[in-house]
A and B are shown apart, each in its own frame.
Chain A
Amino acid sequence: MTEPRVRIKFDQVSVQFPAQSGMMRVVDDVSYAVRDREFVSVIGPSGCGKTTMMNMVAGFMQPSSGTVTLDGRPIKGPGPDRGVIFQEYGVFPWLTVKQNIAFGLTLRANRTSAAEREEICSRYMQLMGLSDFADAWPRMLSGGMRQRLALARAYAVKPQFLLMDEPFGALDAQTRTAMQDLLLDVLAAEGKTVMLITHSVEEAVYLSHRIIVMTARPTRIREIIDVPFPYPRDAGLHETPAFGELRAHVRQLVMQEYAQQAKQRQSQSN
């Protein structure tokens, strides 16, 4: 069996930002590859540089050194092949729920017929539990509903890649589980390559093929963990001993990095 081809590749990537005292190194010599239809989660302390890494794949910024490539080519800018769920959703306040979902479909890049658009909108509104709010303005929605709307809008244009920055963060536990399972369904049906940023170890283990644990800033790869459970997965997985063991292992790594971060802060303030 041959391994699927590499789609996203980080090659010795470093990023620095200008800070008060000179340059601040945020990402430090990171290399890894995401293969076709792979689900990779990135987990690490807050502020370590996860969103920064995602922004490079999305095409919003370039590494200070090293390369980020997509199918072997350096990433020049954003495009509809890479759907992005932003940490702050970015739901369009001047469009209704339905118009938000349809937005991408009205662009030249993904032109669809009116009938098709209608069909896609109502399907995702139903899947996301937004049907009753088709004509509501986003300001009338709860935080969780806005997040679901952002998901629907990104799914609607059927991108090959999904880059998700804490997409389920604002959801209650039940909705969160439902959205995770929906994501797995969408992936099974449409076959996408996913990069998910999350703070939830549980979520990372449940959804991913592989989990990349990042260190505190400047972030490096602490460990890459293979998640051996076959798909399709269902909620029963959470209860198995193997799941519990893996979760404990990942959690320990993440906790250590948070402790490390706290120590750094303390030594800085002294």
Chain B
Amino acid sequence: MRRVALILAPWLVLIAGWYGIHYSGLINPALVPTPHAVAQRFVELVQTRLPLDILMSTRRVFIGVLSGTVLAVPVGFVLGWYPNVRHFIDPLINFFRALPPIALIPLVIVYFGVDELAKIVILFYASFFAGVIVMYEGISQISPIYVRVSRTLGATDSEIFRKVIVPLAVPHMLTALRVALGVAWATLVASELIAAQQGLGALIQNAGSFFQLDIIYVGIICIGFIALFMDLALRAIARRLVSWQERIA
């Protein structure tokens, strides 16, 4: 009971604040739709286009994050494990990471067209660079003592990899996945700038051109909640997988 109340409290405060702003008279109420108006619009949209929007966006994020992380894990691992390689590759990674995905959109359109692939490429890009950094920072901090201990017990290189390095890398893989997921949701709207008909980003942009603020709010809130639930699910998985850890990052 207490727990539920504690979890709900900040949300209720947020909604109260939202009403407060609407009715305060400080800003034009037309610019801030009330929560119940947004809720009503949500119910309407659920019966029409929203399910497909959610499906499309979630699918894009999912594919982008999955492909980005699948590549980020081995690359991040190599960079973390071999300081010499990292020395040369690190500037390159940071160069590309610093480029905002939106700036790349014109190029992506030229090279990948305006279809599904183009959107996924943007999400892949964002996920990969977020994941790679988390992964190699984590791997480079693995204490060499465990490798030394296993060698004194007679472990071969392949045994060390399977029995020591992989278990130690798993938490970092999960963190990389979580970070990539967050970044991908944050990049979604940008990726759907590319001629998207469906998707939460498309929904928000279309509503923007018609000044339908309540729909924009619905879109934003949906993105926030889906990202939140995915993160919670991932954390639950992480807790089971790495229960040996003190805390899950």
Cross-interface CB contact of B154 among A60, A79, A139, cutoff 8 Å = A79
| Majority secondary structure of chain B interface residues (helix, strand, loop or mixed) | helix
Judge if B100 is at the interface, Cβ distance under 8 Å.
no
Stretch from A29-37, A100-108, A206-214 forming part of the interface with B:
A100-108
| Cβ-defined contact, A77 with B151, below 8 A | yes
Judge if A80 is at the interface, Cβ distance under 8 Å.
yes
Judge if A13 is at the interface, Cβ distance under 8 Å.
no
Most buried by A among B159, B244, B246: B244
Cross-interface CB contact of B146 among A90, A109, A137, cutoff 8 Å = A90
| Cβ-defined contact, A94 with B244, below 8 A | yes
Q: Can you list the 10 inter-chain pairs with the closest CB atoms, starting with the nearest?
A: A109-B154, A80-B154, A104-B153, A90-B149, A78-B151, A90-B145, A84-B152, A94-B167, A94-B244, A137-B244
Residues on A facing B (Cβ under 8 Å): 58-60, 77-80, 82-84, 86, 88, 90, 92-95, 103-104, 106-110, 137-139, 153-154, 157
Judge if B179 is at the interface, Cβ distance under 8 Å.
no
Judge if B245 is at the interface, Cβ distance under 8 Å.
yes
Return chain A residues, CB-CB under 8 Å to B163: 103, 106-107
| Cβ-defined contact, B244 with A139, below 8 A | yes
Chain B nearest CB from A11 CB (Å) reads: 23
User: When A86-B145, A92-B146, A137-B243 are in contact, do A108 and B153 touch as well, CB less than 8 Å?
Assistant: no
| Cβ-defined contact, B148 with A90, below 8 A | yes
Judge if B66 is at the interface, Cβ distance under 8 Å.
no
Tell me the chain B residues, 234-249 only, with Cβ under 8 Å from chain A: 242-246
Most buried by A among B149, B167, B243, B246: B149
Q: How many residues of B contact A (CB 8 A)?
A: 21
CB nearest to A93 among chain B residues: B244
Return chain A residues, CB-CB under 8 Å to B159: 107-108
| Cβ-defined contact, B154 with A110, below 8 A | yes
| Cβ-defined contact, B156 with A94, below 8 A | no
CB nearest to B147 among chain A residues: A90
| Cβ-defined contact, B168 with A94, below 8 A | yes
Chain B nearest CB from A95 CB (Å) reads: 7
CB nearest to B156 among chain A residues: A108
| Cβ-defined contact, B148 with A104, below 8 A | no
Cross-interface CB contact of A82 among B150, B152, B164, B167, cutoff 8 Å = B152
Judge if B21 is at the interface, Cβ distance under 8 Å.
no
CB nearest to B143 among chain A residues: A90
Chain B nearest CB from A152 CB (Å) reads: 12
User: When A80-B154, A110-B154, A157-B154 are in contact, do A95 and B149 touch as well, CB less than 8 Å?
Assistant: no
Judge if B213 is at the interface, Cβ distance under 8 Å.
no
User: When A79-B154, A107-B155, A110-B154 are in contact, do A86 and B149 touch as well, CB less than 8 Å?
Assistant: yes
Return chain B residues, CB-CB under 8 Å to A94: 167-168, 242, 244
> A58 CA to B208 CA in the complex, in Å?
68
Tell me the chain B residues, 192-249 only, with Cβ under 8 Å from chain A: 242-246
Return chain A residues, CB-CB under 8 Å to B155: 107, 109
CB nearest to B246 among chain A residues: A139
Return chain A residues, CB-CB under 8 Å to B149: 84, 86, 90, 92, 153
Return chain A residues, CB-CB under 8 Å to B246: 139
User: When A92-B164, A93-B245, A137-B244 are in contact, do A60 and B148 touch as well, CB less than 8 Å?
Assistant: yes
User: When A60-B148, A86-B145, A108-B159 are in contact, do A157 and B153 touch as well, CB less than 8 Å?
Assistant: yes
| Cβ-defined contact, B244 with A104, below 8 A | no
> A86 CA to B145 CA in the complex, in Å?
9
> A58 CA to B245 CA in the complex, in Å?
29
Return chain B residues, CB-CB under 8 Å to A139: 244-246
Jot down 12 A-B pairs with beta carbons below 8 A, ordered by A.
A80-B154, A83-B153, A90-B149, A92-B146, A92-B164, A93-B244, A94-B168, A94-B242, A107-B153, A107-B163, A138-B244, A157-B154
> A80 CA to B149 CA in the complex, in Å?
10
Return chain B residues, CB-CB under 8 Å to A110: 153-154
> A157 CA to B150 CA in the complex, in Å?
12
| Cβ-defined contact, A78 with B245, below 8 A | no
Chain B nearest CB from A35 CB (Å) reads: 22
Return chain B residues, CB-CB under 8 Å to A153: 149, 153
| Cβ-defined contact, B156 with A95, below 8 A | no
